[in-house]
Amino acid sequence: MNRIKEVLEQKGIKQTWLAEQLGKSYNMVNAYVQNRQQPRLETLMDIAKILDVDVKELIISNKEKN
């Protein structure tokens, strides 16, 4: 699972803009945002760089918090 949707909303960035920056289709980016498909690690790193966030901010941990 990823937090791309939340980060885009926090930064006020549209999926269409992110798709253009990544060189990917809107449909592909929308699949990432809706968690229907997970981006490859390289793509996730590119998204983090474009959004100027740590890649860890885009990932939902699978560990339970204490």
Q: What is the pLDDT of residue 62?
A: 77
For the cut 80, the answer to whether the pLDDT of residue 31 exceeds it is: yes
Question: Whole-angstrom Cα distance, residue 54 to residue 48?
Answer: 6
- Cα separations in angstroms, 61 against 16, 34, 37, 43, 54: 27, 17, 17, 18, 14
pTM of the model: 0.89
Q: What is the pLDDT of residue 66?
A: 54
The pLDDT confidence band at residue 53, using thresholds 50, 70 and 90, is very high
* Domain residue limits, the chain: 4-53
DSSP string, 23-50: T--HHHHHHHHTTSSPPPHHHHHHHHHH
Q: Structure tokens of 8? A: 């885009």
Topology of domain 4-53 in CATH is: 434 Repressor (Amino-terminal Domain) (1.10.260)
